[in-house]
Every structure is written in C-alpha cells, then in structure tokens.
C-alpha cells in the first residue's frame, strides 16, 4: 500500500446531507490491488471534481460493511494536497467534510484509500473451467459496492484503472492500454485509460486467464476477442462477427465513439453488458456456432445508445435497451432479409403482449425498481416504438432521425422528450399523440376485428373495436385476399368502435390485419 503525504483521523460529526448534484465528477483514477490469497481488494481512488455550487461538504456513494466482519468497503486514510477534509462512511456514502468551503466553479482533487471485500459490483468467482476471475458488473448502480463514485448515469467522467494483480492474469478495461509491466513477487501492473466521459454503469475491469485475438480493424479501431483459453478456438470464431457488426453500425449510426472494441467472455450476471469499448458477454456465449449474433449486435449498438448517448435516468431506459433491441433487428434484416425482421418483430410482439397482461406500467417508468426495468417494456416494446416510427415515417426519415439523435446527444444525457423533439424536427410532423400513447400509456391496443361481405354492394364491411382501457390512435393495414389477388389498405383507427366499408369486386377468401408486421397490437380477424 502507498504511504500518504499526511493522514487525518476518521471522526464522526453532525452532517447535513448535501444533494449529489452539487458536484460534477471530471475524472476518476482507481488504483486497485488484488491477489489470489483472498477476496480483499485495496484501492486508491483519485477523484477530480468541479463544484456546481458553493459547498462545505460532498459525498460519494460507497457500500460499507453492514456489520463487523461482513463484506463492504472501509476507508483507512484520505487526503487532498491543498484542501484537507474529514471523511466518514455512513448510510452507504463517503461523506467529506471540507476544511474550507469550495466555491462554485472551483475544481478540486480528492484521494481516498480504502479496502475490503466487495459485496457486489466486482464479482470475484470462478469460471466454468474452475479458474478464478474478477469481473466488474456495475449496472445499474452497483459500482459503488467496490469504488467510491457518483453512481448515476447523468454524471459522466473519464476514467483510468491501474490494476496490480498476480502476473498470470490479463486485464481488460475501458479505453487504451497505457502500461503493462511485470513487478517483483510474480505480480503485474496494467494501466488502462479512457478519455471519453462515461457513466459509472459502464466503467469496468475484467481480470482472468484470457486468450486474446485481434479479429480485425474498422476505421483503424481494433476489434479484439478476450476468451477463456480452454475455448479459444470457438471463442475467436464466434466473437469475430463483431468486426462486421461494428462496421455496419459505424455506417448506419455514425462513427464509433471509442478507440477500441474488446469482446470479452465473462462472468456477468446478464446475457451481455455493454461496457464502453469492453463488452462483457456471459460465459456460455461461446459455442463455436456463432449462435449469439443478435446478442453481439445488441451490445454493440449500446456503444452508441446507452454508453455515448445515455438516458438521463433509468426511467427512460428504453432509449438504451429499446434502441439496442430494434437496431440489432435492423442489422439482422440487412444480413438475412425482411422475413428475418418480421420474424423477430412478431416474437417481440408476443413478449410485449404477455408482459402487458401482468403489468400496468408504461414504458417511461418512474416507479419500478431498477432491476425490474429489465422487462419487455424497456426492450421489446421500446423496439416496437422505433419500428412503428420507421413504418410511419419511412426508412430514409427514420435513419436520419437516428443519426440526428445520436449526433445531438453523443457524450450527453437525454430523455424521451428530447428524442421526441429530434423526431419531430427531422420528420416535420407532430408526434405528440404517438409518444404519449406508446411510451407514457400502459398497455397496447387489444382489437376485436370482424368482417362480412355484402355481395350486392360489393364491399367488405369491417368492424373494429378497441377493448383495452385507454384508447389508441393508429394506422392499421388490412389485406384482402380474393381469387383476383391481394390488395392492401391503411385505415385510421381512433375510436372505441368503428365501421369501414372497403370495395371488393369478388368474395374475399381471407382478411388479414397488419400483413406487413407494422403495428404493436393484440387481436385477430374473424368472419361474422
């Protein structure tokens, strides 16, 4: 452990909690040492902040032990080279009492030494081959289980990790490798640095006995695979798909925002985790059959949406997960054709219908706990919102609004209203009703559609009833098949019950609703 310039005793004092928004973190440097002898880690956090208002105290989130001997982080020293402070850990926070009040606009550096066994966030375990691994898994706000930080997606900062570990390990992280050098006693120091500001949810380290391969380059961006040595042949083959996927989205959305893309076999609790420039995939994602192409595409989309253009808070998670869900389908459509897109959208629609039967929450959800936001509203329904926008506005306008949204909010935070403004500006249309009903209203249209043929008038009489609680307003495509072929017509549905008369010269053989898979709804068509 590094010796401090000076040490201040830890004392308890009366403290009035200051809101987290009184500072903006500019940069984190985490120096972390770990070993194979125990799960205890020791860290030095150097945090550069800018004060947004005059403040006599600030705090960083950090989970301490709930009782003596339990998992959690403990501070043992702290200092600031110019402005002394006193720190305590209380209520899952490191509270810093400043010796002199900081002025608005002032920048200061705080250094905190800490140690402990992480209760979460940094997952210390063994992989399926029995080898010890260390993988951070921060989403949504689990980073503060192992690093002191502002654990909120709205506070972005550049970051560097300096890891000292047994020399047999390889270390992957965000950014670019600065140093990798051997130390005495069979240890190794690895230093990664990311200059692009990130939310803490995607600041990571991965430490394991990796085999590493370069799949290729996209616009001089190295695309690498980090897999367990026991399945390296299969892993290198599977993860090499990332190069072509990256190339596709680099063209479709905008230039890739980071200086590398590492695809990492890991122990994440999720199927995949979109850490900036270092995506972690579940350890069984390696099959040698390229069976996780959609997962790779999903996580790579997140590099733009979720990582670079980040939701302002998790109630707008669909701006991350819905985008990744739908744009990965667009990639599959480009590779395998429209039928593949329709197959994926039909499967996604069934998941939304099933979820809506048990949930009364809208997509923009300010109520549910963070982990419960990982649901069909955020993913599949969010994807369907984008699909309906594309169908209603056209491919060219849709691609423009995706590009414009990213260009406007790259490196920033956005919410649903921000995205709506971009859509309206790009399309030249008011989309208030569309956004209100699909994103702020629970559920989806549940339709009872019936038809009969009037041979004398040569018309199909179509009745459409909306059975759900809240009325929706939407275009519905109807296809009528007869001996003379097929014809399609778009109807505007906006009332509880409506009748439509469609001219048809011969008796229809079949009437189909939504033949092009363009509408999120539940229901079917029957003959009266």
pLDDT at residue number 17: 36
The count of other CB atoms within 10 Å of the CB of residue 269 is: 14
Query: Among all chains, which residue has been given the structure tokens 């189909």?
Result: 512
Counted residue by residue, the chain has a size of 528
* Residue spans per domain, the chain: 1-205, 210-308, 339-439, 446-527
Q: Are 296 and 242 in contact (CB under 8 A)?
A: yes
pLDDT at 363 over 60: yes
Between 192 and 19, residue with greater pLDDT? 192
Checking DSSP bridges between strand 272-273 and strand 221-227, what pairing results, if any?
unpaired
For the segment 322-343, what is each residue's pLDDT rounded down to a tens digit?
999 999 999 999 999 999 999 9
Q: Which CATH class is domain 339-439?
A: mainly alpha
pLDDT at residue number 99: 87
* Architecture of the domain whose range is 446-527: Sandwich (2.60)
Q: What is the DSSP string of 105-129?
A: T-EEEEEEEEEEE-SSSEEEEE-TT
For the segment 8-21, what is each residue's pLDDT rounded down to a tens digit?
323 222 333 334 57
Q: Are 499 and 462 in contact (CB under 8 A)?
A: yes
- The helix (run of H) or strand (run of E) holding residue 438 is helix 432-439
Q: How far apart are CA 44 and CA 47, in angstroms?
A: 10
pLDDT at residue number 13: 29
The count of other CB atoms within 10 Å of the CB of residue 154 is: 15
pLDDT at residue number 80: 61
The answer to whether the peptide bond before residue 140 is cis (omega within 30 degrees of 0) is yes
Of 381, 371, 443, 445, nearest in space to 416 by CA: 381
pLDDT at residue number 19: 40
Question: What totals of helices (H) and strands (E) does the chain contain, helices first?
Answer: 9, 28
Q: How far apart are CA 61 and CA 65, in angstroms?
A: 13
Query: Among all chains, which residue has been given the structure tokens 């069979």?
Result: 186
Query: Among all chains, which residue has been given the structure tokens 């310039």?
Result: 5
Instruction: Output DSSP code: residue 1.
Output: -
Of 86, 30, 31, nearest in space to 57 by CA: 86
Return the CA Rg of the chain: 27
Q: Are 159 and 198 in contact (CB under 8 A)?
A: yes
For the segment 30-44, what is each residue's pLDDT rounded down to a tens digit?
999 999 999 999 999
**HSE-CB for 493 with a 13 A CA cutoff:** 28
pLDDT at 249 over 60: yes
Say if 1-205 and 339-439 have the same CATH topology.
no
Checking DSSP bridges between strand 510-513 and strand 474-482, what pairing results, if any?
antiparallel
Residue 277 Rama label (left phi>0; alpha psi -120 to 50; beta)? left
pTM: 0.94
* Architecture of the domain whose range is 210-308: Orthogonal Bundle (1.10)
| Percentage of the chain lying above the pLDDT 70 cut | 95
The count of other CB atoms within 10 Å of the CB of residue 412 is: 14
pLDDT at 175 over 60: yes
For the segment 473-523, what is each residue's pLDDT rounded down to a tens digit?
999 999 999 998 999 999 999 999 999 999 999 999 999 999 999 999 999
Q: How far apart are CA 42 and CA 474, in angstroms?
A: 57
pLDDT at residue number 51: 97
**Predicted confidence band at 81 (pLDDT cuts at 50, 70, 90)?**
low
> Buried b / exposed e across 391-407, counting CB within 10 Å, b at 16+?
bbbeeebbbbbbeebbe
The count of other CB atoms within 10 Å of the CB of residue 12 is: 8
For the segment 271-299, what is each residue's pLDDT rounded down to a tens digit?
999 999 999 999 999 999 999 999 999 99
**HSE-CB for 274 with a 13 A CA cutoff:** 25
pLDDT at residue number 350: 98
Q: What is the DSSP string of 376-398?
A: TIIIIIHHHHHHHHHHHH-HHHH
Q: What does pLDDT average to over the chain?
A: 94
Chain mean position to CA 356: 22
Farthest CA pair distance, the chain:
97
What are the start-end ranges of the E strands in 390-473?
Answer: 413-414, 446-454, 459-466
Two tokens, residue 162: 């300096």
Q: Which CATH class is domain 1-205?
A: mainly beta
Of 120, 264, 143, nearest in space to 201 by CA: 143
Of 158, 232, 224, nearest in space to 195 by CA: 158
For the segment 372-414, what is each residue's pLDDT rounded down to a tens digit?
999 999 999 999 999 999 999 999 999 999 999 999 999 999 9
pLDDT at 438 over 80: yes
Two tokens, residue 425: 């500006």
Q: Are 311 and 414 in contact (CB under 8 A)?
A: yes
Between 66 and 463, residue with greater pLDDT? 463
């Amino acid at each position: 452990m590094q010796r401090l310039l000076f040490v201040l005793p830890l004392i308890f004092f009366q403290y009035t909690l200051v809101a987290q928004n009184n500072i903006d973190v500019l940069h984190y440097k985490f120096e972390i040492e770990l070993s194979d002898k125990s799960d205890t880690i020791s860290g030095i956090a150097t945090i550069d902040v800018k004060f947004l208002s005059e403040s006599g105290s600030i705090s960083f989130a950090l989970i301490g032990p709930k009782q003596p001997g339990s998992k959690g982080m403990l501070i043992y020293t702290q200092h600031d080279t110019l402005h002394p402070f006193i720190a305590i850990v209380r209520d899952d926070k490191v509270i810093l009492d400043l010796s002199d009040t900081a002025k608005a606009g002032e920048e200061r550096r705080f250094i905190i030494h800490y140690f402990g066994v992480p209760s979460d966030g940094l997952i210390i375990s063994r992989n399926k081959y029995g080898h010890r691994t260390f993988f951070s898994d921060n989403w949504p706000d689990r980073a503060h289980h192992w690093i002191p930080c502002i654990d909120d997606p709205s506070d972005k900062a550049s970051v560097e990790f300096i890891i000292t570990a047994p020399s047999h390990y390889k270390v992957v992280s965000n950014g670019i490798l600065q140093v990798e050098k051997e130390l005495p006693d069979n240890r190794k120091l690895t230093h990664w640095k990311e200059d692009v500001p990130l939310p803490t949810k995607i600041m990571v380290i991965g430490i394991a006995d990796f085999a590493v391969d370069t799949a290729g380059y996209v616009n001089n961006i190295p695309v690498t695979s980090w897999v367990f040595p026991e399945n390296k042949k299969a892993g290198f083959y599977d993860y090499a798909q990332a190069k072509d996927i990256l190339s596709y989205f680099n063209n479709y959305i905008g230039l890739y925002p980071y200086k590398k893309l590492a695809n990492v076999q890991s122990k994440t609790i999720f199927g995949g985790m979109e850490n900036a420039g270092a995506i972690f995939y579940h350890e069984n994602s390696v099959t040698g059959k390229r069976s996780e192409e959609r997962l790779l595409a999903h996580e790579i989309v997140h590099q733009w949406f979720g990582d670079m253009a980040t939701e302002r808070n998790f109630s707008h998670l669909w701006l991350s997960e819905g985008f990744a869900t739908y744009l990965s389908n667009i990639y599959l459509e480009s590779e395998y054709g429209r039928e593949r897109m329709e197959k994926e959208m039909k499967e996604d629609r069934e998941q939304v219908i099933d979820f809506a039967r048990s949930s009364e929450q809208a997509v923009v959800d300010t109520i549910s706990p963070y982990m419960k936001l990982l649901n069909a509203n955020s993913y599949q329904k969010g994807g369907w919102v984008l699909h309906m926008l594309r169908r209603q506005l056209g491919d060219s306008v849709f691609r423009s609004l995706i590009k414009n949204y990213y260009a406007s909010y790259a490196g920033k935070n956005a919410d649903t209203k921000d995205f709506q403004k971009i859509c309206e500006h790009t399309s030249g249309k008011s989309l208030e009703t569309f956004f209100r009903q699909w994103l702020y209203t629970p559920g989806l249209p549940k339709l009872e559609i019936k038809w009969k043929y009037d041979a004398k008038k040569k018309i199909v009489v179509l009745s459409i009833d909306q059975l759900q609680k809240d009325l929706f307003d939407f275009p519905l495509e109807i296809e009528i098949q007869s001996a003379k072929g097929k014809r399609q017509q778009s109807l505007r549905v906006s009332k509880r019950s409506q009748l439509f008369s469609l001219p048809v010269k011969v008796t229809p053989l079949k009437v189909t609703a939504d033949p092009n898979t363009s509408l999120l709804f539940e229901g079917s068509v029957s003959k009266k």
